[in-house]
Structure 1
């Protein structure tokens, strides 16, 4: 740099140096025409395909929304001791995971930290676990295997959580399903029901007080399932509550299966 003063004016001259060769070829990306059959222009080809997929998904989604009514929960009732809260559907698989002995109790850290941590790290390091340039799933076993295992595990745990919750909720306490009648209240089955203190939790009219209602239970549970609940308990009902004989239990189960919704 040199400074020259002429009168009241100053001139500054900059001298630059570069180690980049002037004749070096510039790195321009290749045109898509150089890859026949392997690529396509973004406009309109690729964008049109994406738009068509989005339209199909949107139409299918709106069809499901209009065909299936959204499930509404029960009215908030702080006196309902039989209410079984569950998380939203997208957390049901984690909720179900914590029901297993190896992921709960003394091993709860497995269900809350280790398993979710492994899943999160597998997702985080997926680009480094499989760096293949192949686009076909069969040619990318690591990424495909992780995806399949994850989808199967989440789907199975979500289904199990939903199924168990539906089995636990026979009907809301204090609510009477429409078109439901108590079958033969003056029968021997009802006498056994009242004698064994079932009436204290499930109500005089099977409407449910401290426990779930049994109106319409015949539509939801089979005789074997009712017998299993009587023997093993479920929810807030402990095992061994029924103190009658096997013959009385059979009569009670048969009577309960007749509590159907017409």
Structure 2
């Protein structure tokens, strides 16, 4: 007999005499169709998760998340856009039967029924059959749900004004507005102006940056009175004197006209040098 043949280690044994597959006894009636959760299944899940995490990190480095300008709570014209996995719910709120006075239907009732049915699926469908063709009702409902989510997501992406979204979120150069000027106080009293151009006067989805165009005082007054483009006319609620003060304030790029352009002579000389 060769040395070690038939030997079995009892104490500090590192090599078992008989190797058995790591299959729990509870699953013995399903041979070849199951495996132990620990460590077989969990190890494979960890490996897949590690690969996904590395790929996600590479994607974030290659395509960093776009940043927008600082949020302005007074900008009522801002068009929000949820993350991509909520776009189908966002699109649902645009239809008449789920918007306005029926918002609760689109925001609570329809999503509640859908997700409630998904939670109750194990109790509603007790069939032991696992092949989709043998479960026509469950398979049809699932296909209908997937098709609806894809369609609503596509509609939301197609209907969204991406140019306006890029404009409203564009990071613009900060302009120091003289908040002590009379023109600024007049602007803050005009809800129609703030609703489109924002409280910081830097614009939004409904109106552009007030200071992006080089208009004279008379031009600004004419635009405020008669409108321009999508801007309606006769939106200013004030006297003619206040209108002129506001127009002069805007034409002077947010600075009090009485103080010039806000730069001292020493600053101008330093800039020329």
TM value normalised by structure 2: 0.46
TM value normalised by structure 1: 0.47
